[in-house]
Structure 1
Amino acid sequence: MAAVTLKDVAIRAGVSIKTVSNVVRDVPRVSETTRERVMRAVRELGYRPNPSARRLRTGRSGLIALCVPDLATPYFAELAQHVRAEAAKLGLTVLIEETMGDATEELRLATGVGAALLDGVILSPLHVPLGELASASNEFPLVLLGERSYERDQVAADHVLIDNVEAAREATAHLAALGRTRIAAIGMQAHASATSRQRLEGFQRALHDAGLTYDPRLAPFVKRFDRRNGLMAMRTLTSLPPGDRPDAVFCFTDLLAVGAQRALYEAGMTIPEEVAVASIDGSEEALYSTPSLTSVIPDKAAIASLAVKCLAARIHSEEPLPFEVHLAPHRLVARESTEGIRQQVTP
């Protein structure tokens, strides 16, 4: 029995072959009515895309991978949605991989595991050395996300990020502008990632600018950027003598802040009257927490768009392209955890 083709589906649905292709590849510019008609024809005829035929025809599969440390983290889950939407506009399908921050796994994925299948990779690495990524990016289309520290002439791959130092500085400066003088930081790590180092640097800059002194007792260490570690770190801070406790805390991620807010609630301390809280990530969790969380919001849609477009350019280029660093915008949104005014949630 002959395989069903795009042309067969187009004839059954009464549309062009291009429209069928757009629907199958989930390109968003097709009307819902047309999409439903095409999908009905697909089901009736039993059409199945043939990635092998596409690979033979174009030399590409149309598949890319997004590799992130932890899919349970709201930031990465939301980012994945944006990457998928941007990829669909270019006719690309996204596979999602979770690395758990393991350097070996990060490098394995950066080199294009299943390279016969994948056209390229967008990777948010935590621990793999940049030198090893440099060799991988020279042989396989690769775009990096997240924070890394290097000079411009040491760029190992296209890299999309926000200015983490400035984002942390803005969040901490916001707390200082409220008149808070004992500002804690939750997010220090014994084996610090670039995220931890850069956000600490921004925190310390803001303290210096405000004429405040950095107190190591107000910067407890955490193992991971999650709710539990935020809870435990804040419990350490609330156990300090009354005169030494913080009156504000900058958390390096929203999840740390949510845990910290729980610890403050357990200690009977009010937010923001006794302790103001701010963080970075701009996840939906920050919007719907109680109180809603003041957070620096990276433009995740812009990050996804830059990353996908950079990767697509590398996939389609016949010649090697110079590596570039792209800064995505961010903005501070003040909410109940620092403003002290009950606000209506605006989704």
Structure 2
Amino acid sequence: MQNDARVAEDTRAKVRQAIEELGYVPALSAQLMRAEPAPTIGLFVSSVDIPIFGQLNRYLHEELNALGYHVLQETIVSSTRSEQESAMENLVRMPIKGMLVSVGGVENDLHQKYAARVPLLVVGRPEPSGTLHSVGYDEDYHGETLVDHLAKLGHRKIMMQDARMNRTMGTWTRVQAQKRRAAALGIEFDATYTSLMSERELEQWLLKTLDDGYTAIMAVFDRRLVQLLQAAKRLGIRVPEDISMTGSDGVMDGVDLLGLTTVRKPVELVGRGAARRIVELVEGPEPAAVINERYRGELIIGTTAGRP
């Protein structure tokens, strides 16, 4: 059946005749039991309907496949700790060689727990403990770059959308960098957590932000910026004439068409770099130092930010 050259032709003909008479169909599962399993990396990633995680997912898969590895994936459907732990536990019980984790809200002790059982690398977000391998974005640089751009335009009073560390470590880190940079430049600023606001509440917040004299809003990422642009349009607020707005990520379809002023994160560099690093951890000796790589993106100057 496998066309092995060691089988005599008359024997092969008899087997084929028996197969035809019996209607025999080979069982793939039985064949797989005899085969050497392909090396596999476990991947725990945030919802792929978020553009930046969808792209990251693609580059991780492409690079790991090119390196001869398969991917076994768990996608987050709940931000609760129990659901996160359940997904990671399920992965580590599978025949994986290593694990990649790209979920903003996973707490450090969970990373540590599974890093003790399998080579583990944190992807995309900062790793504050300094004890875990990570490949991510330079969010300090991104936050500073956005504030510097607004400062050069002349903005001296900026409102920021805030983030929670236990929900999205990367965004929280960038917002903290924005606050530090604004303070260092003598810019007046405030921050509000708006992620749970309804459409009407967001409109009221936008109106109050204008009434309080803020000339720019820094959205936590591009999707939130688009929501603000939609709210401004409903309210008859002009952007950037009445208020400037910035975002982050820069990977959403139509960024150039919408004219968003944002930071484009180097998703491909992070994705492919993380894939190569986890394979190195799996195949080679433990590195002498903890892997801590940060990649910088670029400022995209659009039409949503102008002079106050």
Q: Name the SS for the 1:336 alignment partner.
A: coil
Q: Deviations over 1:286-331 (max 9, x none)?
A: 61553x21111111111011110111112223x4445311112211
> In 1, distance between residues paired with 2:33 and 2:107?
34
Go from structure 1 to structure 2 and tell me whether the alpha carbon gap of 1:3 and 1:184 turns closer, same or farther (over 3 Å shift). farther
Tell me how many residue pairs correspond in the alignment: 284
Match of 2:193 in 1: 221
2:185 equivalent among 203, 210, 231: 210
Q: Deviation of residue 253 (structure 1)?
A: 1.1
> In 2, distance between residues paired with 1:242 and 1:260?
13
Q: Does 1:174 align with 2:149?
A: yes
Q: Deviation of residue 148 (structure 1)?
A: 3.7
Q: Does 1:336 align with 2:303?
A: yes
Task: Please tell me the root mean square deviation across aligned C-alpha atoms, in Å.
Answer: 3.1
Q: Which has the higher contact order (CA 8 A, sep 6+)?
A: 2
> In 1, distance between residues paired with 2:280 and 2:27?
30
> In 2, distance between residues paired with 1:112 and 1:280?
33
Gaps of 5+ in 2: 6-25
Q: Does 1:185 align with 2:184?
A: no
**In structure 1, what residue type is equivalent to 2:84?**
E
Q: Percent identity?
A: 17
> In 2, distance between residues paired with 1:325 and 1:315?
17
Q: Name the SS for the 1:71 alignment partner.
A: coil
> In 2, distance between residues paired with 1:193 and 1:241?
24
Q: Is the 8 A contact 1:61 1:119 kept in 2?
A: no
Go from structure 1 to structure 2 and tell me whether the alpha carbon gap of 1:191 and 1:68 turns closer, same or farther (over 3 Å shift). closer
Q: Does 1:256 align with 2:231?
A: no
> In 2, distance between residues paired with 1:331 and 1:241?
28
Go from structure 1 to structure 2 and tell me whether the alpha carbon gap of 1:111 and 1:306 turns closer, same or farther (over 3 Å shift). farther
Higher mean alpha-carbon deviation, 78-87 vs 235-244, is at 235-244
2:59 equivalent among 75, 82, 94: 82
Q: Does 1:143 align with 2:127?
A: no
Q: Does 1:130 align with 2:130?
A: no
1:305 equivalent among 266, 272, 283: 272
> In 1, distance between residues paired with 2:113 and 2:61?
27
2:261 equivalent among 294, 311, 319: 294
Q: Is the 8 A contact 2:144 2:178 kept in 1?
A: yes
Go from structure 1 to structure 2 and tell me whether the alpha carbon gap of 1:66 and 1:132 turns closer, same or farther (over 3 Å shift). closer
Match of 1:98 in 2: 75
Match of 1:246 in 2: 214
Q: Is the 8 A contact 1:66 1:95 kept in 2?
A: yes
